[in-house]
């Protein structure tokens, strides 16, 4: 199953095709800004039962009338079979579209990024006929952006940088910088940034940090993510309220029955947040002769 972080690492280039020209500068390759970009079909399947799909494929048209194809792959781990697939993609694209293809691999861990950046030769070791050399963006070379002004200069690059540094010890500061940079940005611009960042962080601990920042720093506008966070907060609040009310009801029934409730037992009741357990205790409270009767496993 394709993870949300996998989707965000390549889909951000669909949303912001010009991002590649800035990423290429970071990677030491001067490509230049595009005049236009077209999202191309990603299905590279031939008329045989072998299906091949690139993650994202863009046709980039330059102002000087030159064009090229940009294949973007999000790579989560080392895969010894992947370089052969990448070579196939590039050869197929060259043959089909008669345009020079480029390959950008986006990673979230250093080991995978360094592996993907290696040259992969094809052919006899003494005379390789082809050598794959991908451009790789990852935590080893993407900037750590913790300056709000820098983030505001290029929000798309700041977002990709945050995604690639999802496991960085400084991810909290990186995300805080990004959320602060979005405060004065129109909702139409901020909303996809918020969603892509949430996707890119996946199920890492940083994902909850981002949700909390969105709920606080970006509470002035409504996005699907911010609304989801607020709904979760309201649901949690209602659940906590029901749990506290049920716990107080248990203690009240025990008091009416003359049952002595030690402080430890009182804390256990009030500290329980499981409504199913509290409901069982509530049913036992009216006939209990001791707190052990309430807590007994039956």
Question: What is the structure's pLDDT at 217?
Answer: 66
Question: Residue 285's Cα: distance from chain center in Å?
Answer: 47
Question: What is the structure's pLDDT at 240?
Answer: 62
**Which residue matches tokens 């036992």?**
284
Kindly report the average pLDDT of the chain as a whole number: 85
Residue 174 in tokens = 């990186």
Helix and strand counts by DSSP (H, E) for the chain? 13, 7
Listed residue (104, 20, 98) closest to 62, CA to CA: 20
Question: What is the structure's pLDDT at 224?
Answer: 61
Question: What is the structure's pLDDT at 48?
Answer: 62
Question: What is the structure's pLDDT at 187?
Answer: 82
- The model carries a pTM of 0.67
* Alpha carbon distance 121, 158 (integer Å): 33
Q: What does the angle CA 220 – CA 224 – CA 227 come to, to the nearest 5 degrees?
A: 55
Question: What is the structure's pLDDT at 241?
Answer: 63
Phi-psi region of 65 (alpha: psi -120 to 50; beta: other; left: phi over 0): left
Phi-psi region of 228 (alpha: psi -120 to 50; beta: other; left: phi over 0): alpha
The H-or-E segment that residue 280 falls in is: helix 275-284
Question: What is the structure's pLDDT at 155?
Answer: 94
List of the chain residues with pLDDT < 50: 1
Cβ contact 155:193 at 8 Å? yes
Length of the chain: 298
Question: What is the structure's pLDDT at 181?
Answer: 94
């Amino acid at each position: 199953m394709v993870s949300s972080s996998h989707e965000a690492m390549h889909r951000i280039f669909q949303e912001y095709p010009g991002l590649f020209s800035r990423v290429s500068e970071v990677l030491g390759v001067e490509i230049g800004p595009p005049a236009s970009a077209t999202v191309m079909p990603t299905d590279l399947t031939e008329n045989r039962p072998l299906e091949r799909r690139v993650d994202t494929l863009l046709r980039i048209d330059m102002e000087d009338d030159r064009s090229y194809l940009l294949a973007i792959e999000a790579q989560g781990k080392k895969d010894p079979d992947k370089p052969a697939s990448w070579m196939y993609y590039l050869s197929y694209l060259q043959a089909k579209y008669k345009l020079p293809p480029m390959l950008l691999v986006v990673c979230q861990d250093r080991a995978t990024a360094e592996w993907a950046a290696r040259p992969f030769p094809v052919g006899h070791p003494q005379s390789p006929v082809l050598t794959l050399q991908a451009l790789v963006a990852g935590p080893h070379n993407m900037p750590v952006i913790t300056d709000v002004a820098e983030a505001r200069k290029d929000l798309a690059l700041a977002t990709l940088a945050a995604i690639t540094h999802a496991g960085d010890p400084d991810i909290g500061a990186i995300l805080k910088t990004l959320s602060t940079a979005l405060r004065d940005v129109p909702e139409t611009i901020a909303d996809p940034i918020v969603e892509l960042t949430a996707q890119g962080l996946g199920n890492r601990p940083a994902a909850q940090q981002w949700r909390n920042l969105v709920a606080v720093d970006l509470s002035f506008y409504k996005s699907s993510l911010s609304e989801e966070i607020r709904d979760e907060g309201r649901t949690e609040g209602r659940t906590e309220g029901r749990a506290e009310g049920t716990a107080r009801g248990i203690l009240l029934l025990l008091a009416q029955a003359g049952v002595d409730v030690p402080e430890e037992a009182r804390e256990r009741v009030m500290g329980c947040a499981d409504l199913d357990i509290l409901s069982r205790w509530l049913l036992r409270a009216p006939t209990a002769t001791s707190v052990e009767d309430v807590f007994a496993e039956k």
